[in-house]
């Protein structure tokens, strides 16, 4: 007696489904550490313990180095540069900061000045350059006006090989909106250079991945800008999920990370260079891009651009994948992002916005 | 369509529906919490108990409270208080840090639904 062929196929299918549930323990190697002024999680897939540990400590060392080199006011290459920028005359730029400055120059221009790393003084006025101690009240309107009238821009700095001169004494560099992107990019580049093919580097919620997580892609949730994660149901606080493809960075800027409250109003850390105040039309922006630094700067610039102007800036910065959540809670997506992201079913219909 | 075709179609539809359902399932609860001082493991605790732990850091003691399946920073000697505001965490993969004090906690055990949370 023989069973019909379809029945046999069905039984095989059912058994293969059962087997999926009995995979061996995953070969995930996940390490979380405090470095670069944030919590960095490095996840590697299918790699020997020893090689994983070596790679992770090398990345940690690089990240500490970059943190010190690019820190705007601690003694170090960038801190020293900021001291010299306040004086007149030429000086020699430190090699560890020059490539980041050149990259920023291009992105500042593409963003129509919304990403402006020359506004270090503004960040200082607001107290956001300190890692821990925030100011408890906003700076005075006069102080803000006076600084904005001097219009500090990266283009005020002339670079001739390593000689630097500066026309504008109000220029101070703060790479806070690009440094993490560049750091994550360099970490991924390093991991690739030592032959690691499947990895994710997550620096405080901004991340970049290569390869896959075993037999599936890297999968991430995007935090809801207004719902907290500390309740029983973690689904509530995740507004969307997406799979990260090989060599993609996912960067998010939100108004809920660094802020202080004064007079019943919340003042967050993403400052609009046009007004000198926190940008107030957006609650969160997530972008996907193949370059970490570009993704980082773009998430900030699009956040500041707001729900009206962001498509123009996205186009000029070369960003195809954007999710912007405005202060009314409406989700705006580019068509490319709509094809990649899966919104929580609790969410209302998104607005699909083509780039001009 | 034969009976087997229909069965197969039904199973495929179930898998598709099921994968959507499972994709949005919450991560399973963690089973233990690891407390880190600097970047070295200070102590590890079962989450299913009630206890408080004082962890000496760079600025002073951070107090971690463990309460039947969840953990939080009860207090910490930093100005920004991000770690305290983060509240209770209980899912595998959750982390909370008091960076100025050099203390962080990680929740482990159970299954994490995402490889990372973007924020």
For residue A26, give the DSSP letter: P
Nearest to B118 among A38, A220, A258 (CB): A220
Flag whether residue A228 sits within 8 Å of chain B, measured between CB atoms. Answer: yes
Q: How confident is the model at residue B24 (pLDDT cuts 50, 70, 90)?
A: low
Chain-chain contact of A134 with B4 (C-beta, under 8 angstroms):
no
At B12 the pLDDT is 85
Cβ atoms < 10 Å from Cβ of A251: 28
Within 8 A of B7 by CB-CB distance, chain A residues are 10
A112 vs A106: CA distance, rounded Å? 10
Separation CA B55–CA B84 (nearest Å) = 14
pLDDT (tens digit, 9 = 90+) per residue, B35-44? 999 999 999 9
State how far residue A86 is from chain B, nearest Cα, in angstroms: 29
pLDDT of residue B110: 83
What is the ipTM score, two decimals?
Answer: 0.85
* Residue of B24, B39, B115 with shortest CB distance to A34: B39
Interface contact B11-A13, CB threshold 8 A? yes
Residue A328: CB partners within 8 Å, gap ≥ 6? none
Predicted pLDDT of residue A19? 53
Is the model's pTM score more than 0.90? no
CB-CB contact of B41 with B65 (8 Å): no
A200 touches chain B (CB under 8 A): yes
Residue B63's Cβ-count burial label (10 Å; 0-12, 13-18, 19+) is middle
Which pLDDT does position A1 carry in this prediction? 45
Q: With CB atoms and an 8 Å threshold, state whether A132 touches B38.
A: no
How far is the C-alpha of A266 from the C-alpha of A283, rounded, in Å?
12
Task: Supply the pLDDT for residue A41.
Answer: 96
Distance of CA B99 to the CA centre of its chain: 18
Unique residue bearing structure tokens 């609860």:
B29
Digit-coded pLDDT (tens) for B47-87: 999 999 999 999 999 999 999 999 999 999 998 888 998 89
User: Could you tell me the end-to-end alpha-carbon distance of chain A, in angstroms, rounded to an integer?
Assistant: 67
Chain A CB within 8 Å of residue B1 CB: no
CA distance B40 to A159: 43
Mean pLDDT by 10 residues, chain A (356 residues): 65 61 67 94 94 96 96 94 90 94 97 98 91 81 98 95 92 97 98 98 97 96 84 71 98 92 93 98 98 98 98 98 97 98 89 96
Interface test with B, best of A33, A199, A209, A230 (most B CBs within 10 A): A230
Cross-strand pairs, A352: A333
* Residue in A13, A34, A231, A322 to test binding to B, most B beta-carbons within 10 Å: A34
Tell me the pLDDT of chain B averaged across its residues. Answer: 89
d(CA A213, CA A61): 25
B32 interfacial to chain A (CB closer than 8 Å): no
Closest chain A C-alpha to B89 CA, distance in angstroms: 5
The nearest alpha carbon in chain B to A238 belongs to B117
pLDDT given at position A288: 98
Determine, for residues B87 and A228 on separate chains, whether the beta-carbon distance falls below 8 Å. Answer: yes
User: Closest Cα partner for A308 from A289, A284, A282, A287?
Assistant: A282
Question: In Å, how far are A85, A130, A145 from A125, measured between CA atoms?
Answer: 17, 11, 12
Is the Cβ of B75 closer than 8 Å to some Cβ of chain A? no
- CA of B49 to nearest chain A CA: how many angstroms apart? 17
Phi, psi dihedral angles at B37 (to 5 degrees): -115, 120
What is the number of alpha carbons within 13 Å of residue A9 lying toward its C-beta? 8
Residue A176 burial (CB < 10 Å; 0-12/13-18/19+)? buried
DSSP A136-179: SSPPPHHHHHHHHHT---GGGEEEETTEEEES-TT-B---TTTH
Task: Judge whether A250 is closer than 8 Å to chain B, CB to CB.
Answer: yes
Beta-sheet strands, E only, within chain A: 28-35, 38-45, 91-92, 157-160, 163-166, 199-203, 206-210, 218-223, 238-244, 248-254, 259-262, 265-268, 282-289, 321-326, 331-333, 341-343, 351-352
């Amino acid at each position: 007696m023989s069973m019909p062929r379809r029945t046999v196929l069905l039984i095989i299918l059912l058994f293969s489904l059962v087997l999926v549930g009995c995979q061996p323990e995953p070969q995930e190697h996940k390490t979380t550490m405090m470095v670069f002024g944030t919590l960095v999680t490095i996840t590697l897939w299918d790699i020997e313990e020893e090689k994983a540990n070596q790679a992770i400590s090398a990345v940690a060392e690089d990240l500490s180095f970059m943190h010190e080199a690019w820190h705007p006011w601690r003694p170090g290459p960038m801190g020293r540069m900021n001291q010299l920028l306040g004086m007149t005359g030429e000086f020699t730029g430190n090699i560890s900061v020059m490539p980041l400055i050149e990259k920023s120059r291009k992105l500042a221009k593409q963003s129509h000045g919304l990403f402006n790393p020359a506004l270090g003084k503004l960040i200082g006025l607001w107290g956001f350059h300190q890692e821990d101690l925030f100011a408890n009240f906003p700076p005075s309107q006069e102080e803000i006006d006076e600084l904005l009238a001097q219009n500090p821009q990266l283009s005020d700095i002339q670079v001739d090989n390593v000689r630097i001169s500066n026309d504008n004494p109000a220029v101070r560099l703060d790479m806070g909106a690009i440094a993490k992107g560049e750091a994550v990019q360099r970490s991924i580049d390093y991991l690739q250079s030592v032959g690691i093919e499947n990895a994710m580097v997550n620096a405080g919620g901004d991340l970049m991945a290569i390869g896959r997580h075993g037999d599936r892609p890297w999968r991430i949730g995007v935090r809801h800008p207004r719902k907290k994660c500390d309740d029983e149901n973690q689904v509530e606080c995740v507004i969307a999920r997406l799979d990260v493809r090989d060599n993609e960075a996912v960067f998010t800027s939100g108004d809920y990370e660094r802020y202080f409250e004064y007079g019943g109003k919340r003042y967050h850390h993403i400052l609009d260079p046009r007004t000198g105040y926190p940008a107030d039309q957006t609650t969160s922006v997530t972008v996907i891009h193949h370059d970490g630094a570009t993704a980082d700067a773009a998430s900030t610039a699009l956040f500041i651009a707001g729900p009206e102007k962001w498509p123009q800036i996205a186009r000029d910065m070369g960003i195809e994948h954007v999710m912007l959540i405005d202060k009314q809670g409406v989700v705006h997506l580019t068509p490319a992002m709509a094809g990649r992201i899966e919104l929580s079913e609790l969410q209302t219909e998104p607005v699909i916005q083509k780039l001009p | 369509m034969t009976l087997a075709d229909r069965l197969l179609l039904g199973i495929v539809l179930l898998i598709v529906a099921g994968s959507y359902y499972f994709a949005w399932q919450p991560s399973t609860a963690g089973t233990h919490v690891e407390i880190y001082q600097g970047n070295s493991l200070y102590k590890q605790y079962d989450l299913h108990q009630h206890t408080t732990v004082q962890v000496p850091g760079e600025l002073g003691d951070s107090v971690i409270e463990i309460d039947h399946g969840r953990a939080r920073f009860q207090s910490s000697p930093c100005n920004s208080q991000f770690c305290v505001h983060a509240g209770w965490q209980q899912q595998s993969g959750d982390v909370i840090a008091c960076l100025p004090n050099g203390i962080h906690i990680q929740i482990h055990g159970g299954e994490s639904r995402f490889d990372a949370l973007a924020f």
